[in-house]
Structure 1
Amino acid sequence: MGRHRASSAAGILGRKARAVAAAGLTGLGTLAGAGVAHAEPLRPVEAPLADGTPCTIAARACVSIDGKKAWLIDDGAVVHGPVTISTGGPGKETPRGAFGVEWKNRDHRSAEFDNAPMPYAVFFAPGGIAFHEGNTETSSAGCVRLPRAEAAHFYEYLQVGDRVEIV
């Protein structure tokens, strides 16, 4: 997908500064020297919905849990999707709300689930919740699973600080 286009409403701020400011990120820092941003759940924003999605134009990624679909958004317009996904099941639901991308790992393995592979992991919510490649026919343990090509696309597109809305 390449570089993200600057938002017309963003003025002269750089993309990362805009993402941090818009996302309301707190406690930015590093974990184990990995350059990881720590993001608390974000506040809702008063903004129109991106056409064809249940999320606001402030989102960079949108997930409909009930619809089992996800989208990528740039400057308020859908640039990719809808994509078929799976989310968490009973007792391990995917959290709803607005979050900021915290960190990414192309070849992540789950410490919680016996070193299970989580390719193209994009972590966005507390508890290790991420977008990643996986089976979209079954429920996850809270993550948003995508087919391989879609997971790779989300991984390349989303950057630390980008807003993720889960509805």
Structure 2
Amino acid sequence: MPRVRATIALGLAGLGALGGTGVGSAEPLRPVEAPLVDGTPCTVAARACVSIGAKQAWLLDDGRVVRGPVAVSTGGAGKETPRGAFGVEWKNRDHRSAEFGGAPMPFAVFFAPGGIAFHEGDTRTGSAGCVRLARADAEAFHDFLAVGDRVEIV
């Protein structure tokens, strides 16, 4: 059976660390064809993969699944999680939301404009756009992903 190929933005040429702060600056990624990782909807270039429809996520290393699928919740109506390819911009183990009155966002890994991140939270209800994970999964995503790593949301 032939492997499926997908066209998803590939490469991190526009991502770079800013003065040692651990913060990246995301710019649009160029689309190219790349094979999908078996059992996921994402390409071999990804380090993190999210299926909004299936409410699942994976951690990937060199085209192999190293964690997942794990349950996630994503954005609700009017606050949808953005689809596309992103780079991890910054991380904060003990983050609190400025937008939501200091609400805790443990193990936050920010990857998309507007403060969109992976973080610990209730996976049974919709979020305000973030990808929420159970505690052990959020900690694993935080520890595994680095600034600049590719995140694909499909």
Name the TM-score, length of structure 1 as normaliser.
0.82
Counterpart residue type for residue 78 of structure 2:
G
What residue in structure 2 maps to residue 37 of structure 1?
A: 24
The structure where helix makes up a greater share of residues is: 1
**C-alpha separation in 2, matches of 1:136 and 1:93:** 15
Counterpart residue type for residue 79 of structure 1:
V
1:126 to 99, 113, 124: 113
- 1:91-111 deviation digits (Å, cap 9, x = unpaired): 000000000000000000000
Count of residue correspondences? 145
Unaligned runs of 5+ in 1: 1-20
What residue in structure 1 maps to residue 144 of structure 2?
A: 157
1:141 and 2:145 matched: no
**Identical pairs, percent:** 74
The structure where strand makes up a greater share of residues is: 2
Q: Does the CA-based 8 Å contact 1:25-1:100 persist in structure 2?
A: no
What residue in structure 2 maps to residue 116 of structure 1?
A: 103
Q: Does the CA-based 8 Å contact 1:40-1:126 persist in structure 2?
A: no
What residue in structure 1 maps to residue 12 of structure 2?
A: 23
What is the CA RMSD across the aligned residues, in angstroms?
1.5
Unaligned runs of 5+ in 2: 1-9
Name the TM-score, length of structure 2 as normaliser.
0.89
Q: Does the CA-based 8 Å contact 2:15-2:87 persist in structure 1?
A: no
After TM superposition, give the deviation of residue 87 of structure 1 in Å. 0.1
Q: Which runs of 4+ in 1 moved over 4 A?
A: none
**C-alpha separation in 2, matches of 1:159 and 1:26:** 12
